[in-house]
């Protein structure tokens, strides 16, 4: 099934701008068997990890994190862009290639000492993942691992993760 998953992730050249090869996961999401396999594969990896929650970042982290949390019998905690969460939040601003961005998590979404998995679709430069890890630490929770469908290893995003463990099903 891993080969099927790989086949369903399509390369789209020059999107969103010239020189970038975008990895399109929408065909994978549309294939119930392959998408289900991804969630099952991740659930098998984390079923005995003693996790308390799955954290996913807007927006594609929601697509993988939510079904994974359900499969593991855990709650799902969203990390969102500013202005999307209605209560008191922790916020972190981080550097992008051209500028900055910010992410937020509800201050009461996690409790100190909880063990969490951070889930997203792709690890590229590591900025979003590192920012999310920073938010989780602000809640006093502990990061078990950061999980991804795929890693773009040539961008060396793991180097920005402050030593946190990271796992990806696929590596490019």
Computed over every residue of the chain, the mean pLDDT equals 96
Checking DSSP bridges between strand 115-123 and strand 53-57, what pairing results, if any?
A: parallel
Residue 98 has pLDDT above 90, yes or no: no
pLDDT score of 136: 98
| Active-site annotation, residues | 60, 97
pLDDT score of 96: 78
Q: pLDDT tier at 95 (50, 70, 90 boundaries)?
A: confident
Count CB neighbours of 67 within 10 A.
20
Residue 55 has pLDDT above 90, yes or no: yes
Instruction: Tell me which residue has tokens 């862009």.
Output: 81
* Token pair listed for 123: 């690890």
pLDDT score of 34: 98
Q: ∠ at Cα 41 (35, 45), nearest 5°? A: 150
Q: What percent of the chain has pLDDT over 70?
A: 99
Could you tell me which CATH number the domain at 49-171 has?
A: 3.40.50.2020
Residue 120 has pLDDT above 80, yes or no: yes
CA gap 80, 84 in Å, rounded: 6
Checking DSSP bridges between strand 21-24 and strand 53-57, what pairing results, if any?
A: unpaired
pLDDT score of 44: 98
Q: pLDDT tier at 123 (50, 70, 90 boundaries)?
A: very high
pLDDT score of 99: 81
Sorted by where each begins, the domain ranges of the chain are 49-171
């Amino acid at each position: 099934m891993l080969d099927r998953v790989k086949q369903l992730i399509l390369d789209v050249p020059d999107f969103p701008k010239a020189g970038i090869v975008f990895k399109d996961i929408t065909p994978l999401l549309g294939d119930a068997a392959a998408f289900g396999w991804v969630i099952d594969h991740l659930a098998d990896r984390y079923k005995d990890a003693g996790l308390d929650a799955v954290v996913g970042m807007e927006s594609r982290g929601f697509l993988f994190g939510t079904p994974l949390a359900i499969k593991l019998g855990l709650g799902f905690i969203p990390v969102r862009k500013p202005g999307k969460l209605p209560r008191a939040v922790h916020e972190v601003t981080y550097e992008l290639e051209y500028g900055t961005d910010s992410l937020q998590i509800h201050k009461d979404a996690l409790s100190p000492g909880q063990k969490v998995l951070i889930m997203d679709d792709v690890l590229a430069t590591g900025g979003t993942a590192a920012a999310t890890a920073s938010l989780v630490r602000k809640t006093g929770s502990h990061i078990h691992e950061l999980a991804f469908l795929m890693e773009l290893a040539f961008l060396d995003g793991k180097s920005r993760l402050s030593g946190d463990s990271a796992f990806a099903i696929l590596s490019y």
